[in-house]
Chain A
Amino acid sequence: MFEPVLTRHINEPEAYTLDFYVRHGGYQPLRTALGMTPEAITDAVKRSGLRGRGGAGFPTGLKWSFVPKDIPKPKYLCINADESEPGTFKDHVLLERNPHLLFEGCVIACRAIGATACYIYIRGEFFHLQEQLEAELVKARAAGYVGRNILGSGVDCDIWVHRGAGAYEAGEETALIESLEGKRAQPRLKPPFPAVVGLYGCPTVVNNVETICNVPVIIEKGPEWFAAIGPEKNSGPKLFCVSGHVKKPGVYEAAMDVTLRQLIYDYAGGIREDRAIKAIIPGGSSTPVLLPDQLDVQCSFDGLVAAGSMLGSAAIIVMDETTSMVWAAKNLIHFYKHESCGKCTPCREGVDWLYNILDKIERGDGEGRDIDLLLSVCDNIGGKTLCPFGDAEIAPVLSTIQHFRAEYETYIRTGESPVHSDFRADEPVAAH
């Protein structure tokens, strides 16, 4: 039986406070880590098998090891708390209920990569969390866990919270760095990678909130304990966000051998009014949809790739039988159209075209050639942009056409949606 690790105490009112955290063993791993060499910390994280929780699933220890040791420049750690992938709300829980776990992970990670400053880049919309985070940071600093000469070890590491201002693209690591430098959140050409040339031209590691929250756990319980949780190469506790047409939407912690069926029916209580599932987005809006006959797929990085999708940010959006797939694709393309940073032409122009075609179909003016046109536009976006945004924005269109082409065809032929959705407005207000 899996015991929650990251969210063990989240239901207790005082869980976010320094007193509570220390009383439950908090900041002990930091003491351990201060007695370890940076190489030993990185090695422990490597052996744990921890993979990045932000979306790509890149091995965290390996990422840290790319930071050059012999460069005299300062080094930086940036925490990606720009949680913006549609359907994702896991980092919110950690930031709100377990901030000291994040701070502790930051200091340990900074020690591993040789950084003395860490910026937590929090999305502008999470202002209500920022106030509390900063208040807790002040306490951690006063108690000597953060700042100068941490716990008398001679190690310095300060943490600052930096507020974004509403840009999905800031979740991409080089765009996050640009935004932190006070510019538009637009991605950089890679290489050079941030590990060598990142924030202010210095070596930088960008890690997701959940990723860093796993670091103190690895130090406390050991990499072998961590690696034994879940399937091989998909180790450790994982937070899953379940939303959409489920009875109990929420953040659920499980090992990555959990199946979609368990998450949707056991954890999230099943589908509202016990309806049938039509489609599931397993890892945030950028991941291809899955069908109800794939419910027994394992929700791990590798399990979902094998099923033709991705774990992404583990944001599971469930759509019941009354959902129009053309509408769902249009909803998500509206998001991408709004959020495209505009730097690469295929993404910026292509997403507008996708939206216009989907809008035309939805208005009842679709033509037979529109489906092939959508596919062709997608083909001209995928793999042709600086960052993965281009690949992300075509996923909802490609996968809904792949699995629900007949629905698109019916919609185009009859001029109206084959399904009636009771959650929609009779007359939606104009989007712009």
Chain B
Amino acid sequence: MSFHPQMPYGEGWHKSERATAEPGPPFAFSAEHRAQLEELCTHYPPERRKSAILAALYLVQAQQGYITGNAMRHVAEVIGCTAADVEDVVTYYVMFFTRPVGTYVLQVCRTLSCALNGAEQVTAALCRHLQVAPNQTTADGMFTVMEFECLGACDRAPVVMVNNEHWHECQRPEDVAGLVDGLRTGGLASLSTCHLVKERT
């Protein structure tokens, strides 16, 4: 396939290697992550490994916290696509970080149902308590505060998602110090998690 019938494109010519992200340190999947990725690839037809790009990028984040240019190139190699294909995906989805973030990324839902229940106050209180602006990380590298769009937990508003994988629900502005202290001392185990079960039973 070529983009112009008169151009002498040979094998590989139309494959862009462009990647504008900072290269960062060298990157390769650990044996464990590579094995996890290969297992995930079996969920799709053998010629459709590209379907596992999102999963591969989550594994990059699990390994080094955020996604660099070198990581994108490695993912491209492992998946069998171009680095541009990977960058295209990385820059589209909001759950991929392209810069270093804190140990705990506090993502406060800001959309209507949470906002009607005080999400603005929660974000303001968190920023005041940690002395950062949204999208900034504390000097000790522990916390990043972000606003997030609807998390789909509107009956437990306002909700905070921590590190893409953990939830803390019904957060009140006056309780943010407790949330922060809990994470400092008890880690992720201190979060309320998704408490539907507890509440209903």
The one of A11, A119, A426, A429 that contacts B123, using a Cβ cutoff of 8 Å = A429
B51 proximity list for chain A (CB < 8 A): 162, 180-182
Asked whether any CB of chain B lies closer than 8 Å to the CB of A386, the reply is no
Bound Cα distance A250, B170 (Å): 13
Known: A127-B165, A165-B96, A429-B134. A92 touches B112 (CB 8 A): no
Question: Is B43 in contact with A13, judged by CB distance below 8 angstroms?
Answer: no
Question: What residue of chain B has the Cβ atom nearest to residue A245's Cβ?
Answer: B116
Name the interface residues of B119-169: CB closer than 8 Å to any CB of A: 120-121, 123-124, 127, 133-135, 147, 149-157, 161, 164-167
Number of interface residues of A (CB under 8 A): 72
**A244 and B50 in contact, given A165-B94, A429-B127 (Cβ under 8 angstroms):** no
Whether the pair B45, A200 counts as a contact (CB closer than 8 A) is yes
Query: Is A84 part of the contact surface with B, judged by Cβ < 8 Å?
Result: yes
| B103 part of interface (Cβ distance < 8 Å) | no
- B105, CB-defined interface residue at 8 Å: no
B161: nearest residue on chain A (CB-CB)?
Answer: A125
Beyond A182-B89, A317-B113, is A167–B94 a contact (Cβ under 8 Å)? yes
Interface string of A65-93 (1 = CB under 8 A from B): 00000000010000000011111110011
Residue B58 at the A interface, CB < 8 A?
A: yes
Closest chain B residue to A242 by CB distance? B155
Contact status A335-B150, CB under 8 Å: yes
**A88 x B152 contact (CB < 8 A):** yes
How far, in whole Å, are A243 and B127 apart by their CA atoms in the complex?
A: 26
- Number of residues of chain B lying within 8 A (CB) of chain A: 59
**Is A97's beta carbon under 8 Å from chain B?**
yes
Residues of chain B lying within 8 A (CB to CB) of residue A181? 48, 50-51
Q: Name the B residues within 8 Å of A432 (CB-CB).
A: 134-135
Contact A123-B152, Cβ < 8 Å, known A128-B166, A182-B53 = yes
Residues A428 and B112 in contact, CB atoms below 8 Å apart: no
In the assembled complex, which residues on chain A have CB atoms less than 8 Å from the CB atom of B161?
125
Give the chain B neighbours of A179 by CB distance below 8 A: 54
Alpha-carbon distance A165/B98, docked complex (angstroms): 14
Minimum CB–CB distance from A395 to chain B (whole Å) comes to 13
Q: Quick one: closest B residue to A164, CB to CB?
A: B54
Nearest CB in chain B: distance from A22 CB, A = 20
* Beta-carbon contact of A166 and B95 below 8 Å: yes
Measured CB to CB, the residues of A under 8 A from B are 10-13, 74, 83-89, 92-93, 96-97, 119, 123-129, 160, 162-168, 179-185, 200, 241-245, 249-251, 281, 285, 315, 317, 319, 323, 328, 331-332, 334-335, 338-339, 341, 423-432
Rounded to whole angstroms, the CA-CA distance of A12 and B197 in the bound complex is: 8
Q: Note all chain A residues with C-beta closer than 8 A to B116.
A: 243-245, 317, 319, 323, 423
Q: Is the CB of A89 within 8 A of B152?
A: yes
Contact of A428 with B113 in the complex, beta carbons under 8 Å: no
User: Could you tell me the distance between the alpha carbons of A251 and B156 in the complex, rounded to whole angstroms?
Assistant: 11
| Chain A residues within 8 Å of B149, by CB | 86, 168, 334-335, 338-339
A92 in contact with B153 (CB, 8 Å): yes
A431 and B94 form a contact (CB under 8 A): no
Contact A184 B88 (CB under 8 A): yes
